[in-house]
A = this chain, B = another copy of it.
Amino acid sequence: MNVIKDAVHGNVRLSDFELALPDTQAMQRLRRLKQIGMAHLIYPGANHTRFEHSIGTMYLVGEMAESAGLGRHEERILRAAALLHDVGHGAFSHESENIIFRRTGKTHEELGWEKVRKGEIAELVHGEGIPLAELKNAFFGKGVGELISFDLGADRMDYLLRDSHSTGVAYGVIDYGRLIHTIGVNARKQPVIEYGGLEAAESMLIARFLMFASVYYHHAVRIASAMLRKACGMALEDKTVSLRQMAGMDDEELMRVLSEDKRSARLARRLRERKLLKRALQLEAFELNADLKEELSDIRFIERLEAEIAETARVPPDELVVDFPPDYSKGRTSVRIVHRGVEVQLRDISEIVKAIEQAEQNRRKLIVACAPEKKAEAARAAQRILAGLT
């Protein structure tokens, strides 16, 4: 039995096959992708990678499979799918994913499956006797594969624990032992929670909400992400880099390309030297009308807003960004819980889950950030323009 020492889960045991998968070229690349994009600029310990997260997700889904009484065959498939689930991610994880998805409609899962279904990985999978179709289902989170991807799944469980471990923000430290113990599968092999696990389930949803509020949607993290988004857009327009190339890059490779493009170079340098743009204006979601919130979810609207405010305020385009975070939960937690023998939705019986969904919506912030010396002008321009929209 092979062992990898993980910073979060300790000694993780792996079969020979599970040890060979991470040594493929596509998986090794994940070593060079930070798990939470730009957060390291605010939380200096946040240097952990998609690579370690992949191993941790494999570990946790294995624990779930065992606890839920799944057989050896399904456990093997789930662990392989968990190990591979992020292989399609690009530089800075979600940052490049959004850029690519918007322009190609391809998710990181779809890009990832391209890397799994043929070549080095496919050969290992074949050699292990795992049917590719079953792996695909699990990879895309279908059926029993939901154990990896659902709202209380191994993917989220690992990243909450790991992001807490690396940032020092304790909110993600959940009692995963207790939670895993209460996750089972129903007749259709979908994850269900026992009623006794109600608070354990809530605690994980709360943990995620708190991590969003403190880390993922920290205003400076969002500003850095918006700067990266803008720089990538410039380099793509200039054809300094193609979408296809971008999808295969790691964090440092992307940063280098951005610093070589004429238009994006200054933004790249700002990111590299942590000269972040500063908040000129911040509005909370509840201060915005519904139509505006709707429009703000379209990145093209954001870009037009950026252009208009920059022009009005006479700020160069690379010195102003606008950000409004997506409604990540899309308003609907989906967790089955068995109450007195009946499967119901957790959100339908938990005041707390409903409150979290609301809070997630309400606490998003619209941020206009610019070079520090232009704050007054940018704020004025932004207020005027937004007043016309609200």
With A7-B165, A44-B55, A170-B173 given, name 11 new contacts (CB 8 A).
A7-B168, A10-B177, A11-B177, A11-B181, A44-B51, A47-B48, A169-B175, A199-B210, A202-B210, A203-B210, A351-B362
| A5 CB-CB contact with B under 8 Å | yes
Q: Which of A132-186 contact B (CB under 8 A)?
A: 165-171, 173-175, 177-178, 181
How many positions in chain A have a CB within 8 Å of any CB in the partner chain? 60
Shortest distance from the beta carbon of A96 to any chain B beta carbon, whole Å: 17
Within 8 A of B (CB), among A248-281: 252, 272-275
Residues of B near A169 (CB, < 8 A) are: 5, 175, 178
Chain B residues near A214 (CB, 8 Å)? 199
* CB interface residues, A 1-38, toward B, < 8 Å: 3-11, 23, 25, 28, 31-32
Considering the complex, give the chain B residue whose CB is closest to the CB of A4. B44
Q: Is A115 an interface residue (CB 8 A)?
A: no
Q: CB distance B8 to A45 under 8 Å?
A: yes
How many identical chains are in the complex?
A: 4
A292 interface contact, C-beta 8 A: no
Q: Is A70 part of the contact surface with B, judged by Cβ < 8 Å? A: no
Task: Give the residue of B3, B48, B177, B352 whose beta carbon is less than 8 angstroms from that of A356.
Answer: B352
Given the complex, which residues of B lie within 8 Å of A165, measured CB to CB? 7, 165
> In the complex, what's the smallest C-beta–C-beta distance from A315 to chain B, in angstroms?
22
Complex CA–CA separation, A27 to B217 (angstroms) = 26
Is A45 touching B52 in the complex (CB atoms < 8 A)? yes
A165, B6: Cα distance in complex, Å:
10
Q: Is A283 an interface residue (CB 8 A)?
A: no
**Least Cβ distance of A328 to chain B in Å?**
16
Nearest CB on B from A35, distance (A) = 9
Give Cα distance in the complex from A273 to B25, angstroms: 6
A272 CB to closest chain B CB (Å) equals 7
Tell me whether A170 and B166 are in contact (CB under 8 A): no
Query: With A210-B202, A214-B199, A352-B355 as given contacts, are A273 and B7 in contact (CB-CB < 8 Å)?
Result: no
In angstroms, how far is the closest chain B Cβ from the Cβ of A220? 12
- Given A28-B273, A202-B210, A273-B28, decide whether A168 and B352 contact each other with a Cβ distance below 8 A: no
Give min CB distance, A85 to chain B, whole Å: 16
Question: Does A301 belong to the interface (CB within 8 Å)?
Answer: no
List residues of chain B with CB within 8 A of the CB of A52: 44-45, 47
Q: Give every chain B residue within 8 A of A210 (Cβ-Cβ).
A: 199, 202-203
Contacts of A198 in B (CB 8 A): 213
CB proximity of A253 to chain B, nearest CB, Å: 8
Complex Cα–Cα for A352 and B350 (A): 12
In angstroms, Cα B44 to Cα A47, docked, is 11
A49 at the interface (CB under 8 A from B): yes
- In the assembly, what is the distance between CA of A188 and CA of B95, in Å? 47
Q: Are A168 and B358 in contact (CB under 8 A)?
A: no
Is A206 positioned at the interface, with any CB of B under 8 Å from its CB?
A: yes
Instruction: Flag if A49 contacts B47 (CB, 8 Å).
Output: yes
Q: Are B48 and A45 in contact (CB under 8 A)?
A: yes
